[in-house]
A = this chain, B = another copy of it.
Amino acid sequence: MNPEALSRQIALIEALLFVSKEPVEPGRIMEFLGLDDIEEFEKVLAVMEKDQLLDRPERGLMLKRSGGGLQLVTKPDLHDELKQFFTIKQATKLTIASLETLSIIAYRQPATLTEISLMRGVNSTGPVKNLLQKKLIKITGRKQVPGLPALYATTPEFLVYFGLNNLSELPSLEELTELFEEKEQPSLFK
């Protein structure tokens, strides 16, 4: 293979592994590069790995074979620094269950666990607990019905998270209906 073609193939492998979030099967890459011979492909990979990645201290990545495929990953000696960088501002994740629960509380507040569970169609004890821990909701009182269930409402932290000044800034259901229910306008010209 001439050096130019080799460079181009290495660049392509890097780009496609970069874009893929999952390991890519070597067979797919070979087909893509028009290579029939596994040995030839291995040679390309060896050049890429050795000359471009491992032996270059200015590179932060390396090739990894895993899950039946090839993947670009960061070099292990950078682990500590990367961990430090990414834990500083690691975003907390809300599950879809928590988001659904939160949306019901935001729009229906105050709401009881039973009301939430009924609307979602599943027991919502877990997400309510989770939201309480994250301080996105709080108990504001008790509903005057048998069992005196707790009433949940959103907190000031909730507003901060979602960048709202006050609850009235939440899009209204009318606005949403308008936005979501626009049907294809019927044609007058048919």
A residues apposed to B, CB below 8 Å: 4, 6-8, 10-16, 18-19, 28, 32, 48, 52, 56-61, 72, 74-75, 78, 81-82, 84-86, 89, 123, 125-126, 128-129, 132, 139, 141-142, 148, 150, 165, 168-169, 171, 175, 178-180, 182
Nearest to A8 among chain B residues (CB) is B57
Cβ–Cβ < 8 Å partners of A12 in chain B: 60, 78, 81-82
Q: A19 is contacted by which of B7, B86, B142 (Cβ under 8 Å)?
A: B86
Quote the shortest CB–CB distance from A50 to chain B (angstroms).
12
Q: Is the CB of A18 within 8 A of B141?
A: no
Q: Judging by beta carbons under 8 Å apart, are B126 and A58 in contact?
A: no
B18 touches A60 (CB 8 A): yes
Interface centre among A12, A13, A52, A128 (most CB of B within 10 A): A12
Complexed CA–CA distance, A128 and B56 (Å): 48
Which B residues lie within 8 Å of A180 (CB)?
Answer: 129
